Amino acid sequence: MITPTAPPALHAHRLHQAYGAATALDGVTLTVHHGESVAVMGASGCGKTTLLHCLAGIVVPDRGGVTLDVPGGPVTLSAASEDQRAVLRRSHLGFVFQQGLLLPELTALENVAVAAMLAGTSRREAERSSTELLGRLGLHGLGDRRIGQLSGGQAQRVAIARSQVNRPSVTFADEPTGALDSRTSEEVMSLLLAATSGAGTTLVVVTHDETVAARCARVVRMRDGRVVEDSAAAGRTPAGTAGALR
Ligand SMILES: Nc1ncnc2c1ncn2[C@@H]1O[C@H](COP(=O)(O)OP(=O)(O)OP(=O)(O)O)[C@@H](O)[C@H]1O
């Protein structure tokens, strides 16, 4: 008897993306399984962020396609409208960027709760789950602070809380520790891993930092818009998944 296998968390097939004369992606194929943590590395300008944006449906590539497995079944991004992709991102994908992109005029709690409310959660439930999540990320009692009243590491914890409040299937992080010192970077990466692959969901993280990449189960290296090395092919074992946050 043949046992049906679960679809991967994401599958990208021969992605090409050019900006004028610059080729950002030159035929990237990548499959990421549920619960994996994958670091994407490579020199500046090699196409890492463009890849992340294509995988998350922020950019639709010139050629090639991406399929994401989310609750309700796999979605082919090229077949989805811009509105459908926006709903998919809000409800099923998480994002953490270098600067967090938090709203400075809102408190830590409001920054997290807004993400839940935009995905359709009531204010009451959004505030309850956001308070709980901030507490689990070590920010108990700091929910009323505005972002400018937090340290860089605390602000990134808020960004992680915001990214996870809708329990995303896949979390995309672009240089999430880029603005932090090495100790804080390690703490933030531990929390990000615990919240994602440590809880059975998927993390794709773009980084220049080898120590950040070493915490991930898999490292993909790019050069000139192509994947030139993939530790999955070399049989590397998971290393950095800390205990689950939920
Ligand atoms: N919106 C855009 N318009 C024009 N060119 C772009 C755009 N986005 C990316 N590029 C170009 O595409 C190439 C890949 O850029 P990308 O940002 O994906 O690289 P990266 O590896 O993430 O770089 P970095 O590590 O410096 O962030 C570069 O040559 C860049 O200049």
Domains of the chain in sequence order? 10-234 (3.40.50.300)
Q: How far apart are CA 70 and CA 9, in angstroms?
A: 8
**Edge-to-edge strands of the sheet including 63-70?**
22-32, 10-19, 63-70, 73-76
Residues with CB under 6 Å of ligand 1 are 19, 22, 24, 42, 44-50
Q: What is the pLDDT of residue 100?
A: 65
Reply yes or no on whether the pLDDT at 133 is more than 90: yes
Place 180 in a pLDDT band, splitting at 50, 70 and 90: confident
Atom 25 (ligand 1): residue with closest C-alpha? 44
Average pLDDT over residues 196-222: 95
Pocket test for ligand 1, best of 19, 28, 207, 220 (most atoms within 8 A of CB): 19
Reply yes or no on whether the pLDDT at 237 is more than 60: no
Residue 20 Cα to ligand 1 midpoint, Å, equals 12
Average pLDDT over residues 20-30: 96
Atom 8 (ligand 1): residue with closest C-alpha? 50
Reply yes or no on whether the pLDDT at 48 is more than 80: yes
Instruction: Show the beta-strand stretches assigned E in the chain.
Output: 10-19, 22-32, 37-41, 63-70, 73-76, 93-97, 170-174, 202-206, 218-223, 226-230
Atom 7 (ligand 1): residue with closest C-alpha? 19
Average pLDDT over residues 104-123: 95
Reply yes or no on whether the pLDDT at 128 is more than 80: yes
Pick the atom of ligand 1 nearest to 225's CA: 14
DSSP assignment string, 30-70? EEE-TT-EEEEE-STTSSHHHHHHHHTTSS--SEEEEEEEE
Q: What is the pLDDT of residue 238?
A: 47
Structure token pair of residue 44? 């500046």
Which value does ipTM take for this structure?
A: 0.97
Residue 42 Cα to ligand 1 midpoint, Å, equals 12
